[in-house]
Structure 1
């Protein structure tokens, strides 16, 4: 697949502004981000994002941002990520995430094989590892799980490995559906179903555990729907937002009579769990 690279120059250029810009750009169909000393770079499959889309996002940014685009060569991205980015990742000393092409990696109780899609959803982002840390602390035996914004399916696959009864993964992108199907095959997971869509797909089916590693505005918009399909005493784990956003998330959860359980933080990113 051919990708387009967008190079963003920020003024002033600092870590906080790069994090803010990344959060805004995540609303579009970018599949990964990386950084250089002088820019923040974003990648998307050709024709998935338009210049108008980018300009619309940048109009909301409270600092100056310029950008330019360049077409990337149609190369084997697995090989590129193997050489440069996607390395075997051990989370919490018991969950290993690796790609099929990795030959050397540490042993772990749970080994998740992920076919990388521009390294999006490979566990390298702080929010994914925070979610996995939360999931590691729960008893999932016989539980029904909903993974909203499932991406590559990594969280649902981990839940299945830890004994849950069944998993439903929902994402708005077709590539996510394809990734979940492929990654379930690689990990011999037969009890996870992938669906293309958003929270409007939620109906009468109830869940014991819900993951939503998405983005603050989507969480605030859809959390009431999540709660409506969460069983009594069920657990909701949310991530994809910064510490400065935590008060808004907790406030909305409190309005819905959710009890805050645990907060985890890494590099200013937050994951928080609630009980109904």
Structure 2
């Protein structure tokens, strides 16, 4: 008998808070999200739902949104079938696609296979897509790169396909680490070193490119480490925050010798690029 699931039906008002909620839940153990008119249904294995798991979801403490939820247990769900019905391939641009293992191979230059398991980073969320667009634009041949909060490993995988010679993909979440290992194998990658640890493990190294698509607080907590692992002209590409936070982040990064270059935006989500002095 398979593990039973909990379906948590969140009602979000105003509905603009739904994307924020999904982004935050994606960093927990939720496996799939079903968007509804009034909110979202989030699915999680019953065994993974621990007391207090929702306590650190910041949007619950926001005065801008009202969120309520009900929990329903679902027995023996055919999860692979349900996941396949709800997972569409994602075209990043004319040369890059993110698809699942059950999709037919594409003829695009960068055909990336991702099975997300319980990790964030399929290309569906705005922040992941924005990061992938930046990576696609960068000249990465023979560069060194780290991916802090690697999730599914999708950013590292595209980076290797674009010619990076050495990649450290690091995540504090064991599910993300394991998922990255699986996706490395699916894409026949040879230059990605997956690490289950915090960014302190990278201290002592210097990188040409630093990628990080995590929460706003997570980014800020890592700025000092980003500075330590940078050299002159290191490029830092960040996402996981809104346009309203861009000035705050950019001003804070100047204290760590990073200068703002440019940004991309989708539905108020932002990815921004900086260089190290």
TM-score of the pair, normalised by structure 2: 0.90
1:257 to partner: Cα distance: 2.0
Q: Which moved further from structure 2: 49-58 or 106-115?
A: 49-58
2: CA distance, partners of 1:154 / 1:27: 15
Residues 264 and 271 in structure 2, CA contact (< 8 A), matched pair in contact too: yes
Across the two proteins, how many residue pairs are aligned to each other?
272
Residues 33 and 43 in structure 2, CA contact (< 8 A), matched pair in contact too: yes
Residues 101 and 115 in structure 2, CA contact (< 8 A), matched pair in contact too: yes
Aligned partner of residue 260 in structure 2, secondary structure: strand
1:76 to partner: Cα distance: 4.2
Q: Classify 1:112/1:231 alpha carbon distance in 2 versus 1 (closer, same or farther; 3 Å).
A: same
1:167 to partner: Cα distance: 0.9
Q: Which residue number corresponds to residue 64 of structure 1?
A: 66
> RMSD of the TM alignment (CA)?
2.1
TM-score of the pair, normalised by structure 1: 0.90
1:9-158 → structure 2 map (5 Å cutoff): 9-10=11-12, 13-26=13-26, 28-55=28-55, 57=57, 60-62=61-63, 63-83=65-85, 85-103=86-104, 106-117=106-117, 120-158=120-158
2: CA distance, partners of 1:74 / 1:195: 33
What 5-or-longer segments of structure 2 have no aligned partner?
none
Q: Classify 1:186/1:274 alpha carbon distance in 2 versus 1 (closer, same or farther; 3 Å).
A: same
Q: Which residue number corresponds to residue 169 of structure 1?
A: 169
1:235-250 → structure 2 map (5 Å cutoff): 235-250=235-250
Q: Classify 1:224/1:163 alpha carbon distance in 2 versus 1 (closer, same or farther; 3 Å).
A: same
2: CA distance, partners of 1:219 / 1:246: 12
Q: Which moved further from structure 2: 239-248 or 60-69?
A: 60-69
Could you list the structure 1 runs, at least 4 aligned residues long, displaced by more than 6 angstroms after superposition: none
Residues 18 and 40 in structure 1, CA contact (< 8 A), matched pair in contact too: yes
What 5-or-longer segments of structure 1 have no aligned partner?
none
